[in-house]
Structure 1
Amino acid sequence: MNTTLQRAIVLSLLALLMAATRSHVFTHFTPVPDASWAVFLIGGFYLRDWARWAFPALMALAVAIDWMVIRGQGMDFFAHYCVSPGYWMLVPAHAAMWAGGHWLRRHYTDASPGALARLAAVVVVATATCHLFAQGGFYWLSPAVAEPTVAGWAANYGHWFGPYLAATAMFVAVAAVAQVLSEVVARHAGPARQRKRG
């Protein structure tokens, strides 16, 4: 499988994952959490050479999904509770996740305890930064928060950080296991091919 085909498959899977999980983001009642933040981190890892167009494409998909869900509820997109000037802070929020994945890829050679430690650190730092933009944008720029205060913002940030971190970590862990398995298969396939040639 060539690199272009691999990237196309990864991009397609990430788009499907986001479409399947983000469609519930405005109802807050779903058995499967929103995978969007993990999608951008994983995209930054696998699609860094396509970043100029893959990131905007995934960002456009996220907005399109939000628009379809809100319109499907019979509401005007721009009149929805979650769509305010702060909504557009999702662009730097998702960019923070993408940058985390990009940094991780630059420092990745193969599966190892060091790589796992870097992954864990990146998931926490990128998610905290993403949450800072996403939650902060809504809290400080949305008319839904009548009297914003630093204490209120900090309490809100802390309340939602854990669930977002858990959801992101869950999806990234699945991707990490898939990466390790692909490396194991590739290592075993190499000697097998050499034996057949011999």
Structure 2
Amino acid sequence: MNTNQTRAVILALLALLMAVTRSNLPFHFMPVPDASWAVFFIGGFYLRSWTRWAFPLLMALAVGVDWWVIHGQGIDFFAHYCVSAAYWFLVPAYFALWLGGGIARRFYAQSTGKFLGVLVASLLVSVVVCQLLAQGSFYWISDSVANPTFAGWWQNYTEWLLPYARTAAIYTGIAAVLHVGVVAAARALKPQDKSA
């Protein structure tokens, strides 16, 4: 499989993961955490050279899934409490995750220890920025918070940061393990050079 085919498969898998977990459709019997944050981080790692169209495609999918879920509840999309002017801050919030994945990718060829450090740091920083943009805009701009205060915002920000970071880290960790397995399998299947 060439590089573009590999990227296309990764994009399809990420889109499927986001659509399934964001809608929670097949999991009515148990809640499955939304993988969207990890999808954008992982997308930035693998699809950095496709950013111009892969990021907007995944962003459109996220909005489309939200519309479908909200509409399926019999609610007008723009009347839902989650959809306000703040909703559109998800674009820069998710792009922060995408950039974090892209930064991690730049260090991929270096030593494993250094790469793991950069991977963890870039995931953490991009999740903090994403939460700042997504939650901060919702708290300060939407009509859902009657009397916003700095103390109220800070409590809300810190209360939700750890669960979102944990979910993104779990999905990213699973992707990293799969990546290591695929790379090891590819090396094992590669024909050995007999001339050495």
Q: Give the TM-score range, shorter chain.
A: over 0.9
Task: Output the CA distance in 1 between the equivalents of 2:71 and 2:7.
Answer: 32
Contact kept, 8 Å, 1:38 with 1:172, in 2: the verdict is yes
Please list the CA deviations of residues 133-182 of structure 1 after superposition, one character each: whole Å capped at 9, or x if unmatched.
00001001110101111110000000000100010000000111111112
Q: Greater shift after overlay, 82-91 or 117-126?
A: 117-126
Name the residue aligned to 1:79: 79
Name the residue aligned to 1:3: 3
Structure 2 portions without partners, runs of 5+: none
Name the residue aligned to 1:36: 36
Contact kept, 8 Å, 1:15 with 1:61, in 2: the verdict is yes
Q: How does 1:38-77 map to 2 (within 5 A)?
A: 38-77=38-77
Task: Output the CA distance in 2 between the equivalents of 1:36 and 1:111.
Answer: 29
Contact kept, 8 Å, 1:70 with 1:77, in 2: the verdict is yes
Task: Output the CA distance in 2 between the equivalents of 1:111 and 1:36.
Answer: 29
Quote how far apart the aligned CAs of 1:111 are.
6.6
Task: Output the CA distance in 2 between the equivalents of 1:73 and 1:194.
Answer: 59
- Where 1:58 maps in the other structure, the secondary structure is helix
Please list the CA deviations of residues 65-99 of structure 1 after superposition, one character each: whole Å capped at 9, or x if unmatched.
00000000000000001111100000000000000
Quote how far apart the aligned CAs of 1:110 are.
5.6
Contact kept, 8 Å, 1:111 with 1:180, in 2: the verdict is no
Quote how far apart the aligned CAs of 1:107 are.
1.6
Contact kept, 8 Å, 2:22 with 2:35, in 1: the verdict is yes
Q: TM-score, normalised by structure 1?
A: 0.92
Name the residue aligned to 2:142: 142
Name the residue aligned to 2:193: 194
Name the residue aligned to 1:121: 121
- Structure 1 stretches of at least 4 aligned residues deviating more than 4 Å after TM superposition: none
Quote how far apart the aligned CAs of 1:187 are.
2.8
Contact kept, 8 Å, 1:86 with 1:141, in 2: the verdict is yes
Task: Output the CA distance in 1 between the equivalents of 2:81 and 2:98.
Answer: 26
Please list the CA deviations of residues 36-84 of structure 1 after superposition, one character each: whole Å capped at 9, or x if unmatched.
0000000000001110000000000000000000000000000001111
Number of residue equivalences: 193
Structure 1 portions without partners, runs of 5+: none
- Where 1:194 maps in the other structure, the secondary structure is coil
Task: Output the CA distance in 2 between the equivalents of 1:183 and 1:31.
Answer: 32
Q: CA RMSD in A?
A: 1.8
* Structure 1 letter corresponding to 2:65: I
Name the residue aligned to 1:175: 175
Quote how far apart the aligned CAs of 1:188 are.
2.5
Contact kept, 8 Å, 2:24 with 2:31, in 1: the verdict is no
Report the identity percentage. 55
Name the residue aligned to 1:154: 154
